Amino acid sequence: MDLISGESSKVLRKQGFRSLKLMSVDMEQELGNEPEPFGADYGRLDNGLVYYVRRNSKPRMRAALALAVKVGSVLEDEDQRGVAHIVEHLAFSATTKYTNHDIVKFLESIGAEFGPCQNAMTTADETIYELFVPVDKPELLSQAISILAEFSSEIRVSKEDLEKERGAVMEEYRGNRNATGRMQDSHWQLMMEGSKYAERLPIGLEKVIRSVPAATVKKFYQKWYHLCNMAVVAVGDFPDTKTVVDLIKTHFEDKRSSSNPPEIPFFPVPSHEDTRFSCFVESEAAGSAVMISYKMPVSDLKTVKDYRDMLAESMFLHALNQRLFKISRRKDPPFFACSVAADVLVSPLKAYIMSSSCKEKGTLASLESMLLEVARVRLHGFSDREISVVRALMMSEIESAYLERDQIQSTSLRDEYIQHFLHKEPVIGIEYEAQLQKSLLPQISASDVSRYSEKLRTSCGCVIKTMEPRSAATVDDMRNVVSKVNSLGEEMKIAPWDEEKIPEEVVDEKPTPGDVTHQLEYPEVGVTELTLSNGMQVCYKSTDFLDDQVLFTGFAYGGLSELPESDYISCSMGSTIAGEIGMFGYKPSMLMDMLADLETALQLVYQLFTTNVMPQEEEVGIVMQMAEEAVRARERDPYTVFANRVKELNYGNSYFFRPIRINELRKVDPVKACEYFNSCFRDPSTFTVVIVGNLDPSIALPLILQYLGGIPKPSQPILNFNRDDLKGLPFTFPTKITREFVRSPMVEAQCSVQLCFPVQLTNGTMIEEIHCIGFLGKLLETKIIQFLRFTHGQQIYSAEVSVFLGGNKPSRTADLRGDISVNFSCDPEISSKLVDLALEEIVRLQEEGPSQEDISAILEIEQRAHENGLQENYYWLDRILRGYQSRVYAGDLGASCQILEEGRLRMRESLAPQTAQAALQRILPHPCKKQYTAVILMPQRSRFGFLSSIFASSPETRYIRDTKILAGIAGLAVLVFSIWRYSRK
């Protein structure tokens, strides 16, 4: 849990916020000291480039850099649609100074990973290049800034460069042509109708991506990429800002754009009074949904009054979202989930967007409920209690931000300056902002907040869209719903909101505190371990990474793996049903109004162990309905057949990996599910709880003893398992080569590949082997991307290598088995060729080994990630948890963590081209071509085409037989099923 923990914060800093004086605000006063943003060394070079430089030590010895360019897809001519995005790709391919993807190699060599959406993005209005680099060596910062300088004016656009990169861009385009992408594109065009934005989606057109000449790309780049439209941002752990400014001047001052740069034009989006309607039918849709968008011009944020209006708007959205969530938890709800948010879509246009997901054929009921709730607020407003809850939440958030003002991540500050440059958003500093919010929030009344409902009217700039897998709603139906709700509002026939009674305290009667029966200190990891009188083991680590954050988790051995197959489905639904009923003794809708400080969070844990969850027909009905809708949604997804076959093939059709089918859901026994859930959280002596964050032990320890130590221990042990006696999951990997095409009906052709190899790690060198397989996974991922995308220029955007070692019993002595898989999407026509190429590259690595450069890059990536992790609470939470769950743990957490770290260091010291080669031969089948599975998702052929291929195919190729799967095969339900294997978290 990520907690806003008042008790665990440093007292002086907490008092510092509370002692902030209220301001006597002048509503017309301008925010900050514009145009200069707070905290930055800010200026403009003679060539027009703007720069922002700021010192910030979070994380240590790292810098977040960016080049922001006021150039996006809306500037493209008709024959250039997609070129702005292509330029972004070409930047990492070659520049005047860097060729042959040298930039990518440099980033990887310094531990700054390169990957999809990590380093650059193109929108309709802008392009942003981002780098996150170490600065422990001065030359690294200089080279990183030089790369941004190259992007500004030196991107190489040759025919050869373009041809190499077309495949990656095309695959990114293809990946967007799924159900979600088609729905988003359709809604975008409806929203932007009448403007150039409607026809300028950043991904562009397929015909342009495939055939645009290099001259056209270069023309766009040279016309629009001008230094006067750019800003470089550098935020990091620098000795001083002057040195960084000097580096920016060194690398950028001599850059020149062509003379007389064209002015960036303004493209208005026409307003409309009539409501626009659309019924979008998408056969592959994950479910039915409704989206209501209320468009309006972007509002200014220049004065204190503008800032107050922004706060009131935020309070309105918070309050409305709380209502919508509570509606979704009612009996027979009109939607499963619904939310509203404000978003700036393009430079001139903002929108409030309400979106909901609902049952099939439920879009009209969902639409009516959404409109009705807005009309209810318009008619009756929010209550003072609702607004007081929202005000307290926002006050808590700004207090937390103020307390952690010295611990803000450099990437967050970098993004603030980017928005300052691109959208003139003021940067006023957290100290001033906290004082401003503390002064303004109490002045904003319920009526002030409720007035924002006037902006959500269907009579101006409103776009309403339904999305369904099969047509049910019509435009006339939607008009009738709008007319009905408007009439009810005009006639004042909408009842006020019926508020739930919120408990004053989570725990009615505070438990008797337990005692500490045993205490150990592990100074090597800075951890204190307590054994409580009820047998629960509690381990805490105090940190100063964030002043207002405490995280914790807990586990106990024994889970679904210990159940007979006949009980598996019902019991796997236990946490889902319990969550809907109220596993903490209250319905989720009642808990959302409570602020989560450390005491409240520990009270919830106490409630978890002492609440007896009983299935209620109403709540169970909601859960099962959502589950069935999720299964049906997966059945419509082309990837379902693919995912199911991969699991079936690699895991021997084990019931742990089989998709849940609707007929199985209908056999779920809610009583058995709840009984199992209750039994999992009955015996505190089986649990180890790990707490990490800014804890003051003198404050936290009494709370731990009262709410964790006060959990009653049962007279007899419940689900008390010895880790060495637990069962492993039943699965077997194929012993021979298996290559299959899985064909599925698709609206547009998609192709996905999974290449999988069995893995078995022997007990003797297990610690090193587990670290080793992590290094090998990253090595394979890097080399396959280099080989398929950069060397061969094939149509892949990226590749992912994943390691699965789950399913093994957590024994201290047994071997580990699992698999390592390579996943990528590609052009269906070349999928088999790419599988062969990937296999060839892995074989080459097994026979020749990687280069020293490859090994150095992998070691650097791992080391930089490790250094960043050491400054994060989440990292330490996971590290301590792994210390307890490691096979080397024998009651001494310090020794366990030390052995794991020593294993990591030994692996790093020993990793070289020869040892990596030997590991690839030892851990993977050698050669890898002798045992693997390759499953390829392909579009389903027409019947005539399929028969033709049978008669045309040669006897040698017929053994690779297409798997014939009907479109109605069941999918895997996408729900928060808590599929516990060995631990109950």
DSSP letters spanning 378-394: HHH---HHHHHHHHHHH
**pTM for the whole structure:** 0.85
Least Cα distance to 636 among 278, 360, 356 occurs for 360
Nearby residues of 480 by Cβ (< 8 Å), 6 or more positions away = none
User: Rg of the chain over CA atoms, in angstroms?
Assistant: 29
- The residues, ordered by sequence, that sit 6+ positions from 218 with a Cβ below 8 Å of its Cβ are 157
**CA 225 to the chain's CA centroid:** 31
DSSP E strand boundaries for 17-119: 41-44, 50-55, 62-69
pLDDT at 581: 83
The 550-555 sheet, strands edge to edge: 2-3, 550-555, 688-693, 537-542, 527-532, 516-522
In the predicted model, what is the mean pLDDT of the chain? 87
Burial of 107-116, coded b for 16+ CB within 10 Å and e otherwise, reads bbbbbbbbee
3-state secondary structure of 936: strand
Instruction: Provide CB contacts within 8 A for 112, sequence distance 6+.
Output: 131, 132, 133, 134, 864
In this prediction, residue 977 carries a pLDDT of 26
Residue 938's beta-bridge partner residues? 743
DSSP conformational letter for 813? S
The answer on pLDDT for 23 being more than 80 is no
Q: Is 193 a catalytic residue?
A: no
Structure confidence at residue 331 (pLDDT): 81
Quick one: DSSP state of residue 504? S
* % of the chain at pLDDT higher than 70: 92
The tokens describing 424, both together, are 């003139």
Catalytic residue chosen out of the listed positions 108, 126, 130, 165: 165
41-253 placed in CATH 3.30.830.10: yes
* Cα angle: 147, vertex 152, 154; to 5 degrees: 75
Q: What is the pLDDT of residue 197?
A: 96
Arithmetic mean of pLDDT, 670-684? 93
- What is the distance between the alpha carbons of residues 743 and 479, in angstroms, rounded to a whole number? 40
**Any idea what DSSP says for residue 786?**
I
Instruction: Scan for tokens 């025919």, then name that residue.
Output: 159
* β-sheet bridge partners, residue 840: none
Residue 347 DSSP symbol = T
Render pLDDT for 505-551 as a digit per residue (tens, 0 to 9).
788 889 999 999 999 999 999 999 999 999 999 999 999 998 888 99
Q: CA distances (Å), 357 to each of 170, 289, 360, 366, in order?
A: 31, 4, 9, 8
CB 62 within 8 A of CB 132: yes
pLDDT(114) > 70: no
Helix extents (H) in 5-101 = 11-18, 83-93
Report residue 84 as tokens.
């702005």
Task: Look up residue 973 and give its two tokens.
Answer: 């339900």
Mean pLDDT of 957-973: 27
Q: Which of 448-462, 782-796, 847-861, 933-947 has the lowest mean pLDDT?
A: 933-947
Q: What is the CATH number of domain 516-721?
A: 3.30.830.10
Q: Tell whether the model's pLDDT for residue 13 goes beyond 70.
A: no
Per-residue model confidence as pLDDT tens digits over 641-654? 898 889 889 888 77
Strand 337-346 and strand 127-134: the pairing is unpaired
Cis peptide before 261 (omega within 30 of 0): no
Q: Tell me which DSSP letter residue 681 carries.
A: T
Same fold, 276-491 and 516-721: yes
Give me the residue spans of the domains in the chain.
Answer: 41-253, 276-491, 516-721, 738-939
Amino acid 14 reads K
Sequence-distant (≥ 6) Cβ neighbours of residue 564 within 8 angstroms: none
Which residue type does 338 have?
Answer: C
> Tell me, what DSSP letter sits at residue 298?
P
Q: Starting at the edge strand that comes first in sequence, how are the strands of the sheet with 752-761 ordered?
A: 738-744, 933-939, 752-761, 816-825, 800-804
Residues 6+ positions from 440 with CB-CB distance below 8 Å: 25, 304, 307, 308, 311
Q: Are 943 and 766 in contact (CB under 8 A)?
A: no
Residue 889 to residue 767: CA distance in whole angstroms: 12
Neighbouring residues of 237: CB distance < 8 A, sequence distance ≥ 6: 55, 56, 57, 59, 60, 61, 62, 63, 135, 410
Cα 937 to its chain centre, rounded Å, is 25
Is 339 in a helix, a strand, or coil?
A: strand
pLDDT of residue 863: 92
Q: Which residues lie below 8 Å from residue 230, measured CB to CB, with a gap of 6+?
A: 48, 49, 50, 67, 68, 69, 70, 152
The answer to whether 659 touches 684, Cβ cutoff 8 Å, is no
- Report the alpha-carbon distance of residue 767 to residue 950 in Å, rounded: 50
In angstroms, rounded to a whole number, what is the distance separating the alpha carbons of residues 900 and 878? 13
Q: Which CATH class is domain 738-939?
A: alpha beta
pLDDT band at 962 (very low <50, low <70, confident <90, very high): very low
Q: Check residue 127 and give its pLDDT.
A: 97
Judged by DSSP in three states, 947 sits in: helix
Does residue 88 carry a catalytic annotation? yes
User: What spatial distance separates the first Cα and last Cα of the chain, rounded to whole Å?
Assistant: 11
pLDDT at 914 over 70: yes
Percent of all residues in the chain with a pLDDT value above 90, rounded to a whole number: 64
Judged by average pLDDT, the poorest of 362-366, 614-618, 691-695 is 614-618
* pLDDT at 973 exceeding the cut of 50: no
Instruction: Quote the tokens at residue 32.
Output: 């900050």
Q: For residue 5, is pLDDT > 60?
A: no
Instruction: Please tell me the predicted confidence (pLDDT) of residue 762.
Output: 78
Q: Which of 6-20, 346-360, 556-570, 628-642 has the lowest mean pLDDT?
A: 6-20
Q: By mean pLDDT, which of 94-98, 111-115, 475-479, 832-836 is the weakest?
A: 111-115
Helix, strand, or coil (residue 323): helix
pLDDT of residue 883: 94
DSSP single-letter state for residue 677? H
Sign of CA dihedral 311, 313, 316, 321: negative
What letter represents residue 905's amino acid?
L
For residue 950, the SS3 value is: helix
Q: Starting at the edge strand that comes first in sequence, how are the strands of the sheet with 462-468 ordered?
A: 276-281, 462-468, 288-297, 349-358, 337-346
| The amino acid at 715 | S
Mean local confidence (pLDDT), 743-763: 89
Q: What is the DSSP letter of 789?
A: I
pLDDT of residue 261: 87
Q: How far apart are CA 391 and CA 319, in angstroms?
A: 10
User: Per the residue annotation, which of 7, 88, 368, 862 is the catalytic one?
Assistant: 88
Interatomic CA distance for residues 338 and 334, integer angstroms: 10
Closest CA to 359 of 339, 338, 336: 336
Mean pLDDT, rounded, for 718-732: 82
Determine the 3-state secondary structure of 170 from DSSP. Answer: helix
In DSSP notation, 433-501 reads HHHHHHHHGGG--HHHHHGGGGG--TTSSEEEEEEESS----HHHHHHHHHHHHHHHHTT--PPP-PPP
Band (pLDDT 50/70/90 cuts) for residue 37 is very high
What's the pLDDT score for residue 866?
Answer: 92
Nearest partner of 226 among 48, 382, 397, 463, judged by Cα: 48
CATH number of 276-491: 3.30.830.10
Residue 888's SS3 state is: coil
Report whether 761 contacts 923 (CB < 8 A).
Answer: yes
Q: E strands along 195-261, which residues?
A: 230-236
Task: Identify which of 78-87, 134-143, 163-172 has the greatest average pLDDT.
Answer: 78-87
